[in-house]
Amino acid sequence: MALWEKTDSLGGQLTAAAAPPGKHEFSFLPAYYAAALKQAGVEVLLGQSVEKEAISSTNADSIIVACGSHPKALNLEGLDPQALVSAQDILLGRRMAGRRVLIVGGGSVGCETAQFLAREGSISPDQFYYYSAQKVESPEKIASMANSTRRDIAIIEALPRIGGGYAPGTGWPVLADLKRLGVRSYTEAKIQSISDNRIRLEYTVRDRRLDQTETYLADLEFDTIVSAIGSDPCTQVFQQLQQAFPTKDIRSLGDCQQIGTVLSAVQSACDLALKV
Ligand SMILES: Cc1cc2nc3c(=O)[nH]c(=O)nc-3n(C[C@H](O)[C@H](O)[C@H](O)COP(=O)(O)OP(=O)(O)OC[C@H]3O[C@@H](n4cnc5c(N)ncnc54)[C@H](O)[C@@H]3O)c2cc1C
């Protein structure tokens, strides 16, 4: 049995998932699987991309494709492509964000990327401890440094609220942190135009108690736009292999079959492994 991975490490999106504050435990999972695979005698081939040419040289009875997903492309007319980055690029440290950041997409990935960037522009827990222990500033000044960010961050969301993708009861610490650090959000927002480093959008404010809505226009300046509008399954490898080897047993699972969560990917892998 062999596991092919095109990058030089196991874990896929878990590396990005583990990057936001408080989520580092996700990074333990790849190390666990690396040990479990070794114990089970599975050959792990890192830096090996699966293409049909590679498969034709194996004599595998079953091929399971778990190629994951890729971020959806955000097309904004008038935007300098240099100013656009994906949430994954930010979380993986592949790109840096400027001081003024607009995050398009207020689901869990957009909210956690906003939190990651806001914390990056604030003082770290180590700095907080050092400043407090050494009385570098007054307690009030240190508290104010810890509760603010040097970045100007706003989330632009098409739906009536941000954080809609969280399971009940799980999103509130992130949303509370965004509020604490002064991250703004614009909901039911429609981008109207972009010119130079300025975006014009229409957004709605709802007063649920009075059942009233007001629509406003905002002009927001930015250095970086972060795209967090979801992911699309990577279906190409599965389709290529099915076409190339119509008589082989080829299946797909995880995000490359249907965008989901770590739990749904692991669950679908267990279910499938019991059938193969
Ligand atoms: C920023 C972010 C935060 C997230 N937070 C959470 C969270 O808090 N909770 C949660 O449950 N889920 C979270 N998710 C979603 C979760 O990470 C995914 O649902 C899960 O990782 C999907 O697992 P997978 O194995 O299907 O795909 P992936 O994790 O994408 O793994 C696919 C692997 O296939 C490899 N690959 C691709 N093409 C080839 C090829 N041709 N040959 C060989 N290898 C190839 C890739 O390099 C990758 O390692 C988050 C995702 C992101 C991006």
In the prediction, which pLDDT does 144 show? Answer: 96
Q: Which residue has the higher pLDDT, 53 or 272?
A: 272
Name the residue among 36, 15, 34 with its Cα closest to residue 26.
15
pLDDT at 57 > cutoff 80: no
Q: What is the mean pLDDT of residues 1-20?
A: 96
- β partners of residue 252: 65
In the prediction, which pLDDT does 54 show? Answer: 74
The 10s digit of each residue's pLDDT in 135-156 is 999 999 999 999 999 999 999 9
> What letter would DSSP give residue 32?
H
What is the share, in percent, of the chain residues with pLDDT greater than 90? Answer: 89
Q: Using CA atoms, how far apart are residues 9 and 16, in angstroms rounded to an integer? A: 13
Alpha helices in the chain (DSSP H): 14-17, 28-39, 52-56, 87-91, 108-120, 125-133, 139-146, 172-180, 236-244, 262-275
The 10s digit of each residue's pLDDT in 221-267 is 999 999 999 999 999 999 999 999 898 899 999 999 999 999 999 99
pLDDT at 210 > cutoff 90: no
Average predicted confidence (pLDDT) for the chain: 95
Report the residue among 5, 7, 13, 115 best suited for mutation to probe ligand 1: largest number of ligand atoms under 8 A from its CB: 13
pLDDT at 55 > cutoff 80: no
* Residues contacting ligand 1 via CB (< 6 Å): 4-7, 12-14, 16-17, 49-50, 66-69, 87-88, 91, 109, 234, 237, 254-256, 260-263, 265
How remote is the CA of residue 258 from the centroid of ligand 1, in Å?
11
pLDDT at 159 > cutoff 80: yes
CB-based contacts of 36, cutoff 8 Å, min separation 6: none
* CA distance to 55, 150, 197, per residue, from 190 (Å): 46, 27, 17
How remote is the CA of residue 128 from the centroid of ligand 1, in Å?
34
Q: Using CA atoms, how far apart are residues 128 and 134, in angstroms rounded to an integer? A: 10
